[in-house]
Structure 1
Amino acid sequence: MLPEDKQALTIAKRTLKNLNFVYESKQKGNDVEEFTQLLNSMLGMIISLREEYFKGRVVAWEVLEQYKLKKIDIKAKMPDTASPNLTTHTTFSQLIANIRHGFSHNCFLLVGNKDNVISGITIWNIPFGKENATRNRCWEVTMTEEELKGLATLFVSFISKDLGEI
């Protein structure tokens, strides 16, 4: 095991610990922005840890099942007339890579509910060199806050198990 692997895992665990603290604070009535913390946590974990840990690696959903981790069913948007080139992700590592690319290229929008509270996020990818326009999207997903939080937890749990930590 490389020292970098331990460092990445340590950062991921601490990020998740801080995220859980913010959610607990919100439940206690404190004025915290839990979705903002979730988004910042995902930005940090997905962008840096994907580069350090997942880049060039294929992690099938079956690997998560072998580790007794529950798959989160996040469905990519299917092609339509506005975005005819949309594709889907078929592996856990593809989902992580697609989210990473969307975040790092600022290809995301916050989704609000009827009370104007942030309730989720839409993330998409555009091929290199193309204009950031709906017609050029090649992957898109909308996730609720719960799905995004579940993915953060799954991501850390997977790395922990894969490195033999738990």
Structure 2
Amino acid sequence: MEARVQTKTHIDDQLISALRARGQRVTPQRLLLNRALRELDRHVSAEELQAAVADRLPNVSAPTVYATLELFEELGTLRRVPRPGADLWDPRVDDHHHLVCRSCGAVEDVEAGVDASAAFRAARRHRFSPDRAQLTISGLCRNCRRS
């Protein structure tokens, strides 16, 4: 995974701008959850995120974490990675795709070398205006294939 160095202020500024542009409130909980996502810098479940902030936000509820993750997805500051069992959340929003193991649930990033033009053409035939594509490929990871 590429090295991404961002200051707390820069991380906060990005979220604050996105929240304000959508008329959403900037709250300490939202800022802290966003910082934790950036610090973890990997695909995480809502439960993992809740555990990561438990010492700083001991009373944050699971529904609050889920609602915040969904809001961040709507804002474009986070991506949902569908997988069996429970979705994961990806702080990486650049163009890339995911390999999801249907056995163990492991998720791996793959660079967006896949040409999405055919999918975009199909979308336009349906009078849909696409702006980005996310490909999730399910199968068996290296470890599960060996088992």
Normalised by the length of structure 2, the TM-score is 0.27
Which of the two has greater helix per residue? Answer: 1
Name which structure has the greater RCO, CA cutoff 8 Å, separation 6+: 1
